[in-house]
Amino acid sequence: MVVEGESMLPTLVPRDFLVATKPRSLRRGALVVLTLPDHLDYDMVKRLVAVPGDEAGGRTLGSGECWVLGDHPDVSTDSRQFGAIPRDVISGIVRFRYWPPWRARWF
């Protein structure tokens, strides 16, 4: 996928090209790819900051709920606006940035 917005600055910048794989398990701190039900044509990359049982958004997350945030909160649309997300909207985990070459790295 290609990064288009600035919500993940400085970790990701527009035009970064990423490789994501289907998630088997989720860990706090991972960069995840998600698609919200009301925006099926738009994938987002956010940082997973809370998993079921964690406190987030003023409550304890239930089974199958996650909380995601952008690294640049001033411009990020994330769980602070849309709340906890169902685990099944997470379609991938970012593993590698391959473009531009001088920014290549594993996550």
Note down the domain range covering 92.
17-106
- Supply 59's token pair: 């409550």
CA distance 20 to 92: 5
Q: How many domains does the structure of the chain reveal?
A: 1
- Residue 57 lies inside a defined structural domain of this protein: yes
CA distance 25 to 15: 27
Residue 51 has what pLDDT? 97
Q: What is the pLDDT of residues 19-73, one digit of tens each?
A: 999 998 999 999 999 998 777 788 999 999 999 999 999 999 999 999 999 999 9
pTM over 0.85: yes
CA distance 19 to 2: 9
Alpha-carbon distances, residue 14 vs 1, 4, 6, 58, 76 (angstroms): 11, 5, 6, 32, 13
Residues 2-29 have a mean pLDDT of 96
Q: What is the pLDDT of residues 55-70, one digit of tens each?
A: 999 999 999 999 999 9
- Residue 22 lies inside a defined structural domain of this protein: yes
Residue 12 has what pLDDT? 98
CA distance 56 to 68: 10
Amino acid identity, position 97: R
DSSP result, 34-92: E--GGGTT--EEEEEEE-TTSEETTEE--TTEEEEE-SSTTT--SHHHH--EEGGGEEE
- Residue 1 lies inside a defined structural domain of this protein: no
Question: Which CATH number goes with the domain that contains 76?
Answer: 2.10.109.10
Amino acid identity, position 37: P
- Residue 41 lies inside a defined structural domain of this protein: yes
